[in-house]
């Protein structure tokens, strides 16, 4: 980051353009690497955490021959199931890729990509940290756009198209029902989610010109995190997030008990792997949103933030803080999954429409009144 | 047939009318009341030595002075019960007899009898070949005590005694029923077994010296209710509960002994007699038990051959058809073929104008269950019209006709032509098609060889010396690559006639045969006892069989 | 007739599910830090309980004689048809000739065996015993076919007091024993 900032100080106009391009590439890489790495790690974490909660060890046997021979480090990877991640990934890549005879081939092939790509797109607007150039503060994001919050909400909801395409093109009953459920769930909870964010935007709007920018929202929590000032909004957003990402207790779209495997029943091998990574990527991005909106983004504690005077150290610390928070959120997601049983489909719907939407409306109204005063 | 006299008896409180003259045991069996027994045997004299069939018997009481029947107060007949239990096998039924087979006294009596029998019984059922079909085992299970009270050491008796190389005698297992003794005396006609020693030391022994062998000796093994006498050939081969039992007819001779064939996984383990009181009673010859060994692996014809080269069955059959059309055909049939095959063969000979030859296979008539005619179905050839006169012992007539060039093709079924007057020269002069189960000199030099099934691998009917049509079923599957006899013959017939046999099963051939041959009209579904047919139209023919067991000879 | 169970009326707080969810999360978190119950199998072995039904084996008596008399009851009772016995005769000059019968071949197909223990139950000689071996594997089906020799090797000796082959040879010996 220091190289970047010194270059920016000395740079001419041409050098500035080059620097912008370099930063763009760097941040794109950051977005992809953060999302994909966390998605991968969360697969391992899922298995490990679930095992620990159930009194087991989880994956601790898989070993890549040469790597496992490295003292300490090899054993560390083996015991923590990290090599299992490699093995799983290799399996997804190398096993036969079946194409059922009864599917609509084009949409069947497109669906997995459709499930994963919105995740990566949304990752572009998330400010993973901050850095300073000439005393000016910038977000560590690929694109710092004014309406990044709207963009994130809109695009991440597109992920459900993957499920719908998969369910429809699979031409089989369980995937179809799964897809219907997924779309119904997204529609229901998107409303509650958007309504729960509105008070935040209002709050930010009091002080900022761009209240729909995630960066502004993050900055607005310099003193107090929104989860403290707006606990009800945070709760509604969190519940809706669980539903949006199709996680337990809301994973009716792929509930094994009644739908075999839901919308990706007919998928195998790498295409299934894309759905799998897409699902975890969705969680990572969703967590990032939640962190940005309610958990103070890169601020380590409520009321604290990394001081500008530390220069690039603060920049790195802000990034690490953000990543740590993502990790904590992932743990929370997994923890909830292995604690709560799955809701019935009708329970999911009634919770969404009859509880969360009215509550979000009330909450919104209350904050309008509060802020008007 | 005269109406048998009947008597009314009361068994366990129920009134029944049964045939007079039979003993209580048979009468009760007839009405479905089982009385256990060891020493009784329907074909042998009553010994009454095992005491297993003890039942309470009573007769209507009579006034000693007047002889009038006494009545109870309620008007029913007063019964004078015998003070002790009586043996059911040795008591004839009588009018008004009351029998109780399920009272506590009878039950405890059976239990005690079994306890005594088991005192010195070695109880080595895991080793004993009889286990699984042992009367002592079955009755102990049904009527015996569940534990033993005997604490002394058991008697020691000779075990492992070889009897004429056929039987293993284990005296410890013997329960002294004397069935073997009685069988030898009554059926074979001389004493072979006898009791020696006394009391609990009594044991069965073979008379020293003398002629103790007989072709019927193995029937004592079937008769032995325990494992004292076991067949050496079957010793430790297989437990009876693994064996599949099929009804067969003995192929040894025209006596038509009813048999049971015991097999497992396509292997025949033993052949035992099946009860047919009209034919063989409950017995069969020892030699008949081993007829299945004829078809052992070594000399089995397994592959169709043309000019000594193995080939596909379908190709061999199509070559047969070409050769049969080269000139005049002679068919050599045999007396082991089923009635159904003979019928198809008859149709074939009519269709292609072939002459049918047969050969007689004669042997010594032992006056019991091995007759002079050693083929089981020679009479079938008369009934199906293959034969008019009893055939000679060789085929010199056929040889002459081949020499004269009159016969171009010979379709030979089973018979070994080389030993029956044909020379290798005849094999060159005519086309010889050999169809059979076994390799022999004829199969070695025949132009075409078609492997056929043995009589244990097919079903059908045979007519025995009494002109009794008897059915037998398939015991084991034929090895791979062996033609189905009737289907093979039908495919030959199909070449000459337009009549199509869509259903080539033996059943459909039988239906056609029964509808065309009036003599067999009652034989569409032959029961276990067989069906006697009217033989008056063959009265002029001289048959070789003499008077024998259940056979009055030719009248 | 169905029984209608009266449901407890939930309080307002309970109907939000939140306290229950939090307490549930607390329970799973507690479990997260509890010691693991997993037995790391190939590295650690557990002690098998008495009566454990592992691989069926053939045993010899304390004199080293094969107890099996090839009665084939195990073959008969075997529900998966894993056992195949070919009975044979003990030669007359053998020390154990009194037993008369012994298997000439005894095969158990471990790929078929379901470890039900019916063979052990049926055996009148206590010759076939399910022991503790449970990890049976091979690279081919034929490797899992255990013949008489390997069954005896796996079985070992059952030290019971039954000496079936020791037998008084004559009644005169009996006389003295009373």
List alpha helices for B353-497, DSSP H: 378-383, 396-403, 424-429, 441-445, 485-496
Q: Judge if B82 and B175 occupy the same domain.
A: no
B126 and C73 within 8 Å at the Cβ level: the answer is yes
Q: Judge if B255 and B330 occupy the same domain.
A: no
On whether ipTM exceeds 0.90, the answer is no
Spatial CA neighbour of B382 closest among B417, B416, B333: B333
Among B126, B160, B239, the residue with its CB nearest the CB of C125 is B126
- Do B54 and B110 meet the contact criterion of CB atoms below 8 Å apart? yes
A53 and C28 within 8 Å at the Cβ level: the answer is yes
Q: Is residue A67 part of a domain?
A: no
Which pLDDT value is given to residue C177? 45
Q: Is residue B111 part of a domain?
A: no
C38 and A340 within 8 Å at the Cβ level: the answer is no
Q: Is residue B304 part of a domain?
A: no
Q: Judge if B186 and B233 occupy the same domain.
A: yes
- Check CB contact of A54 with chain C, cutoff 8 Å: yes
Domain limits at C151? Answer: 56-155
Which pLDDT value is given to residue A1? 36
- Do A83 and A64 meet the contact criterion of CB atoms below 8 Å apart? yes
Q: What percent of chain B has pLDDT over 90?
A: 63
Do A and B touch, 3+ Cβ pairs within 8 Å? The answer is no
Q: Is residue C123 part of a domain?
A: yes
Q: Judge if B337 and B243 occupy the same domain.
A: no
Question: Is the pLDDT score of B117 beyond 80?
Answer: yes
- Helix A148-170 to helix A269-294 angle, to the nearest 10 degrees? 150
Which pLDDT value is given to residue A2? 38
Strand partners, B11: B14, B99
Q: Residues of chain A whose pLDDT is less than 70?
A: 1-16
Q: Is residue A121 part of a domain?
A: yes
List the single best residue of B119, B236, B241 to mutate versus C (max C Cβ within 10 A).
B236
- Check CB contact of C19 with chain A, cutoff 8 Å: no
Which pLDDT value is given to residue C7? 87
pLDDT in tens, C85-134: 999 998 888 888 888 899 999 999 999 999 999 999 999 888 999 998 88
Among B127, B131, B155, the residue with its CB nearest the CB of C171 is B155
Q: Is residue C174 part of a domain?
A: no
Which pLDDT value is given to residue B107? 95
Q: Is residue B300 part of a domain?
A: no
Domain boundary among B276, B295, B314: B295
Which pLDDT value is given to residue A272? 86
Question: Is the pLDDT score of B555 beyond 60?
Answer: no
Please count the structural domains in chain C. Answer: 1
Give the chain C residue whose CA is nearest to the CA of A338.
C28
The predicted model gives B67-81 an average pLDDT of 87
Which pLDDT value is given to residue C164? 65
Chain A residues lying within 8 Å of C31, measured CB to CB:
52-55
Which pLDDT value is given to residue C178? 42
Q: Does residue B20 come out as left (phi exceeding 0), alpha (psi in the -120 to 50 range) or beta?
A: beta
Q: Is residue B552 part of a domain?
A: no
Which pLDDT value is given to residue B554? 62
CA pair distance A214, A304, nearest whole angstrom: 19
List, as one string, the DSSP characters of B101-135. Answer: SSSHHHHHHHHHHHHHHHHS----TTT-TTTTS-H
Which pLDDT value is given to residue B28? 95
C25 and A335 within 8 Å at the Cβ level: the answer is yes
Please count the structural domains in chain B. Answer: 3
CA pair distance B547, B366, nearest whole angstrom: 9
Chain A residues lying within 8 Å of C38, measured CB to CB:
55-57
Q: Is residue A185 part of a domain?
A: yes
Give the chain A residue whose CA is nearest to the CA of C21.
A340
Q: Which of residues 23-52 of A touch C (CB under 8 A)?
A: 49, 52
Which pLDDT value is given to residue C21? 87
- Check CB contact of A328 with chain C, cutoff 8 Å: no
Q: Judge if B371 and B435 occupy the same domain.
A: yes
- Helix A173-205 to helix A357-372 angle, to the nearest 10 degrees? 10
Which pLDDT value is given to residue C44? 84
C70 and B236 within 8 Å at the Cβ level: the answer is yes
Lowest mean pLDDT among A24-38, B160-174, B361-375: A24-38
Confidence at B151, pLDDT banded by 50, 70, 90 = confident
CB-side neighbour CA atoms (13 Å) of C15:
9
- Give me C162's structure tokens: 């039954």
Chain A residues lying within 8 Å of C36, measured CB to CB:
52, 55-57
List the single best residue of B134, B151, B154, B239 to mutate versus C (max C Cβ within 10 A).
B239
B450: enclosing H helix or E strand: strand B448-451
A358: enclosing H helix or E strand: helix A357-372
Q: Is residue C72 part of a domain?
A: yes
- Check CB contact of C48 with chain A, cutoff 8 Å: no
pTM over 0.90: no
pLDDT in tens, B140-149: 999 999 888 9
- Do B81 and B56 meet the contact criterion of CB atoms below 8 Å apart? yes
Question: Is the pLDDT score of B69 beyond 50?
Answer: yes
- Check CB contact of A339 with chain C, cutoff 8 Å: yes
Domain limits at A149? Answer: 97-372
C31 and A53 within 8 Å at the Cβ level: the answer is yes
**Gap from C42 CA to chain A (nearest CA, Å):** 11
User: Dihedral sign, CA of B471, B475, B480, B482?
Assistant: negative
Q: How far apart are the first and last CA of chain B?
A: 20
CB-side neighbour CA atoms (13 Å) of A259:
26
Q: Judge if B127 and B202 occupy the same domain.
A: yes
Chain A residues lying within 8 Å of C24, measured CB to CB:
339-340
Q: Is residue C169 part of a domain?
A: no
Which pLDDT value is given to residue C175? 53
Which pLDDT value is given to residue B531? 92
Chain B residues lying within 8 Å of C170, measured CB to CB:
156
pLDDT in tens, B268-319: 999 999 999 999 989 999 999 999 998 887 889 989 999 889 999 889 999 9
Chain C residues lying within 8 Å of A333, measured CB to CB:
none
Q: Is residue A42 part of a domain?
A: no
pLDDT in tens, C47-75: 888 889 999 999 998 888 888 999 999 99
B140: enclosing H helix or E strand: helix B135-143
The predicted model gives B23-27 an average pLDDT of 94
Q: Is residue B179 part of a domain?
A: yes
Confidence at B223, pLDDT banded by 50, 70, 90 = very high
- Do B154 and B27 meet the contact criterion of CB atoms below 8 Å apart? no
CATH number of the domain residue C99 falls in: 3.30.70.3270
CA pair distance B507, B526, nearest whole angstrom: 12
Q: Is residue C135 part of a domain?
A: yes
B126 and C75 within 8 Å at the Cβ level: the answer is no
Chains in touch with B (3+ beta-carbon pairs under 8 Å) read C
CA pair distance A53, A370, nearest whole angstrom: 43
C31 and A57 within 8 Å at the Cβ level: the answer is no
B236 and C88 within 8 Å at the Cβ level: the answer is yes
Chain C residues lying within 8 Å of A338, measured CB to CB:
28
- Check CB contact of A56 with chain C, cutoff 8 Å: yes
pLDDT in tens, B201-222: 899 999 988 788 899 999 999 9
Please count the structural domains in chain A. Answer: 1
Higher local confidence (pLDDT), C172 or A19: A19
pLDDT in tens, B477-515: 998 889 899 889 998 888 888 766 778 889 999 999 999
Domain limits at B70? Answer: 6-102
What is the overall mean pLDDT for chain C?
Answer: 86
């Amino acid at each position: 980051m220091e190289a970047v900032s010194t270059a920016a100080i000395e740079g001419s106009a041409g050098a500035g353009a080059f620097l912008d391009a370099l930063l763009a590439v760097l941040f794109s890489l950051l977005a992809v690497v953060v999302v994909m790495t966390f998605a991968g790690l969360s697969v391992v974490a899922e298995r490990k955490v679930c095992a620990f909660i159930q009194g087991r060890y989880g994956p601790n046997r898989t070993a890549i021959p040469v790597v496992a021979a490295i003292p300490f480090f090899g054993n560390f990877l083996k015991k923590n199931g990290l090599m299992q991640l490699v093995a799983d990934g290799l399996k997804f890549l190398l096993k036969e890729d079946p194409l059922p005879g009864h599917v609509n081939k084009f949409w069947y092939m497109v669906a997995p990509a459709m499930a994963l790509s919105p995740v990566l797109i949304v990752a572009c607007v998330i400010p993973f940290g901050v850095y300073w150039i000439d005393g000016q503060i910038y977000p560590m994001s690929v694109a710092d756009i004014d309406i990044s919050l709207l963009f994130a909400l809109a695009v991440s909801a597109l992920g459900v198209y993957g499920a719908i395409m998969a369910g429809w093109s699979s031409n089989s009953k369980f995937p179809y029902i799964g897809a219907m459920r997924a779309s119904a769930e997204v529609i229901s909870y998107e409303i509650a989610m958007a309504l729960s964010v509105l008070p935040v935007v209002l709050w930010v709007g009091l002080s900022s010109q761009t209240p729909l920018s995630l960066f502004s929202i993050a900055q607005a929590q310099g003193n107090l995190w929104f989860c403290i000032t707006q606990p009800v909004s945070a709760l509604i957003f969190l519940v809706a997030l669980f539903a949006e990402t199709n996680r337990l207790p809301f994973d009716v779209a792929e509930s094994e008990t009644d739908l075999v495997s839901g919308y990706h029943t007919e998928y195998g091998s790498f295409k299934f792997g894309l759905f799998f990574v897409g699902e975890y990527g969705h969680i990572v991005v969703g967590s990032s949103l939640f962190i940005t909106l309610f958990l103070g983004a890169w601020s380590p504690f409520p009321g604290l933030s990394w001081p500008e005077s530390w220069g690039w150290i603060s920049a790195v610390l802000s990034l690490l803080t953000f990543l740590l928070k993502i990790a904590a959120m992932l743990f929370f997601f997994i923890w909830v999954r292995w604690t709560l049983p799955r809701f019935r489909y009708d329970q999911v719907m009634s919770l969404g429409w009859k509880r969360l939407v009215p509550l979000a409306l009330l909450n919104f109204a209350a904050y309008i009144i509060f802020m008007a005063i | 047939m005269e109406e048998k006299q009947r008597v009314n008896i009361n068994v366990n409180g129920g009134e029944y009318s049964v045939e007079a003259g039979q003993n209580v045991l048979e009468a009760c069996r007839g009405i479905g009341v089982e009385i256990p027994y060891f020493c009784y045997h329907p074909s042998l004299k009553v010994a009454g030595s095992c005491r297993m069939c003890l039942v309470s018997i009573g007769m209507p009481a009579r006034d000693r002075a007047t002889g009038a029947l006494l009545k109870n107060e309620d008007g029913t007949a007063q019964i004078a019960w015998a003070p002790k239990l009586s043996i059911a096998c040795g008591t004839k039924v009588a009018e008004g007899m009351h029998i109780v087979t399920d009272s506590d006294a009878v039950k405890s009596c059976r239990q005690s009898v079994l306890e005594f029998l088991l005192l010195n019984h070695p109880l080595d059922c895991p080793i004993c070949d009889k286990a699984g079909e042992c009367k002592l085992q079955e009755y102990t299970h049904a009527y015996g005590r569940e534990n033993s009270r005997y604490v002394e050491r058991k008697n020691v008796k000779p075990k492992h005694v070889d009897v004429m190389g056929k039987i293993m005698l284990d005296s410890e297992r013997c329960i002294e029923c004397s069935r073997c003794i009685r069988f030898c005396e009554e059926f074979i006609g001389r004493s072979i077994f006898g009791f020696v020693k006394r009391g609990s030391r009594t044991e069965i022994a073979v008379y020293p010296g003398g002629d103790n062998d007989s072709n019927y000796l193995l029937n004592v093994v079937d008769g032995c209710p325990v494992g004292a006498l076991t067949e050496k050939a079957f010793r430790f081969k297989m437990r009876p509960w693994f064996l599949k039992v099929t009804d067969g007819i003995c192929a040894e001779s025209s006596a038509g002994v009813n048999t049971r064939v015991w097999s497992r996984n396509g292997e025949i383990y033993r052949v035992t007699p099946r009860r047919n009181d009209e034919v063989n009673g409950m017995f069969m010859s020892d030699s008949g038990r081993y007829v299945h060994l004829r078809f052992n692996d070594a000399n089995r014809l397994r592959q169709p051959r043309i000019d000594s080269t193995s080939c596909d069955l379908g190709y061999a059959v199509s070559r047969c058809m070409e050769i049969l059309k080269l000139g005049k055909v002679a068919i050599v049939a045999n007396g082991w073929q089923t009635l159904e095959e003979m019928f198809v063969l008859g149709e074939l000979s009519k269709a292609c104008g072939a002459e049918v030859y047969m050969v007689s296979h004669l042997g010594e008539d032992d006056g019991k269950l091995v007759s002079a005619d050693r083929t089981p179905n020679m009479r079938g050839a008369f009934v199906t019209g293959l034969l008019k006169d009893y055939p000679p012992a060789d085929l010199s007539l056929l040889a002459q006709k081949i020499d004269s060039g009159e016969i171009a093709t010979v379709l030979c079924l089973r018979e070994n032509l080389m030993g029956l007057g044909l020379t290798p020269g005849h094999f060159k002069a005519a086309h010889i098609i050999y169809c059979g189960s076994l390799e022999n000199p004829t199969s070695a030099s025949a132009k075409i060889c078609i492997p056929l099934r043995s009589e244990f691998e097919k079903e059908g009917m045979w007519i025995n010396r009494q002109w009794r049509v008897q059915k037998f079923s398939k015991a084991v599957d034929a090895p791979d690559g062996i033609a189905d006899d009737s289907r093979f013959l039908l495919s030959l017939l199909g070449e000459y006639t337009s009549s199509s046999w869509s259903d080539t099963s033996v059943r459909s051939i039988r239906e056609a045969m029964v509808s065309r041959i009036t003599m067999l009209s009652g034989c569409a579904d032959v029961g276990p006892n067989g069906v006697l047919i009217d033989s008056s139209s063959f009265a002029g023919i001289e048959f070789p069989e003499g008077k024998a067991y259940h056979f009055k000879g030719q009248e | 007739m169905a029984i209608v169970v009266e449901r407890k009326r939930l309080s307002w707080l309970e109907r939000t599910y939140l306290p229950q969810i939090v307490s549930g999360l607390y329970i799973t978190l507690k479990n997260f830090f509890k010691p693991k119950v997993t037995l790391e199998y190939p590295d650690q072995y557990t002690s098998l309980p008495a009566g454990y039904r592992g691989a069926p084996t053939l045993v010899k008596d304390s004199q080293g004689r094969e107890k099996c008399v090839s009665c084939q009851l195990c073959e008969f009772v075997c529900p998966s048809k894993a056992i195949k016995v070919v009975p044979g005769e003990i030669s007359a000059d053998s020390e154990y000739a009194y037993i008369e019968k012994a298997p000439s071949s005894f095969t158990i197909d471990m790929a078929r065996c379901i470890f039900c223990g019916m063979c052990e139950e049926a055996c009148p000689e206590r010759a076939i015993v399910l022991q503790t071996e449970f990890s049976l594997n091979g690279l081919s089906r034929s490797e899992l076919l255990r013949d008489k020799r390997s069954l005896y090797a796996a079985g070992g000796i059952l030290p019971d007091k039954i000496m079936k082959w020791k037998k008084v040879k004559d009644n005169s010996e009996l006389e003295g024993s009373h």
